[in-house]
Amino acid sequence: MAQAIEAPASTTAEGPTQHTQNQVSRFTAPQLRLLHRAVDPKRVGKDDKGFAHMQAWDIKRYLLRVFGFAGYDTENRELTLVREIETPNGNRSKWTVVYRAQVRLIVKDVQGRELGHWDGEAAGAGNNLPNLADAHDMGMKTASSQAFKRAATHLGDAFGLSLYNDGSSAPVVNFSAAHPPEQWEKVAAPLPEPDDAPVRPEPGSQATEDATPPEQEQTGRAEQREDVRRQEQAGGTTLEALKGKINAGWSNRLSCEQNLADARKHGLLDEPVKVGEMDVRVEDLLTRRIAHLKQQAAQANATEGQAA
């Protein structure tokens, strides 16, 4: 009786995955050296809640370094509107828009064949923005970027995996039995570490929600309060005086709300203030900060309730 011959795994698998038998030889030695690196602390920042995180554009940059141009693909598996909220604000409404996304990351070998793919899921919002289109745009970008970054963590420490270990940039993978050091340490000479500048947030992101208040680094708060007092005694509220007030009351929601009212009263809502390297409208800066402080207070109350 003839005996059936089992086909090799490479022909029976439903497309190549990270588990296919012949994957080991399809990584080059220089790629494995890069993948075994710890994440550079200069690539790590803080999000608006104080958690360590990385920028999506920086993840794309590192994917290009490891896998080359056209060496990876992304696929939006889902992008769904969860909720659209209008908040009346005088004659001008504010909008909060929430999306959820699932993004697939596909990486390829140097011949263009798929090495593996991973999915990431996330929700994201455009919070309290005066323009509905901007709120949708921010919500979609935030959800998609977060999902993309979560998918990339399957590639190890250099893509942010270690940050799940209490925000640490110290490596957690350290060794892979599928890719032992003799495959890449002696074969590939040490690669030069690019002297990258610290990673900055993407322009237009909502990183300003918890940003350093304008000009705080250049002027002490005591000096700012004195400047505000002198300017108010001279009559009126100038933009410089308002900046001082914003800095002095940055951590107090009631102060932020009063500063927003003052800005409206004196026609300063559309004036730009410098936050990092970005110019942000006074109204946008304060409304986002107020929303963030409200969210912090709600989370603190919820935590206290659970503890009780």
Q: Where are the domains of the chain?
A: 15-188, 212-307
CA distances from 153 to 92, 102, 135, 140, 160 (A): 41, 14, 27, 20, 6
Angle (deg, nearest 10), helices 253-265 and 239-248:
170
Over residues 79-93, mean pLDDT: 91
Q: Looking at residues 195-208, what average pLDDT do you find?
A: 69
Q: Give 123-162 pLDDT, tens digit per residue.
A: 999 998 999 999 999 999 999 999 999 999 999 999 999 9
Ranking 165-169, 187-191, 197-201 by mean pLDDT, the lowest is 187-191
pLDDT value for 139: 95
Q: Which of 143-147, 190-194, 269-273 has the lowest mean pLDDT?
A: 190-194
CATH number assigned to the domain covering 15-188: 3.30.390.80
Question: Going by C-beta distance under 8 Å and a sequence separation of 6 or more, which residues neighbour residue 34?
Answer: 65, 66, 158, 191
Question: What value does the mean pLDDT of the chain take?
Answer: 80
CA dist 86 and 128 (Å) reads 9
The answer, yes or no, to whether residue 201 has pLDDT greater than 80, is no
Q: Is residue 38 predicted with pLDDT exceeding 60?
A: yes
pLDDT of residue 4: 45
How confident is the model at residue 289, as a pLDDT?
A: 85
Residue 218: phi, psi to the nearest 5?
-90, -25
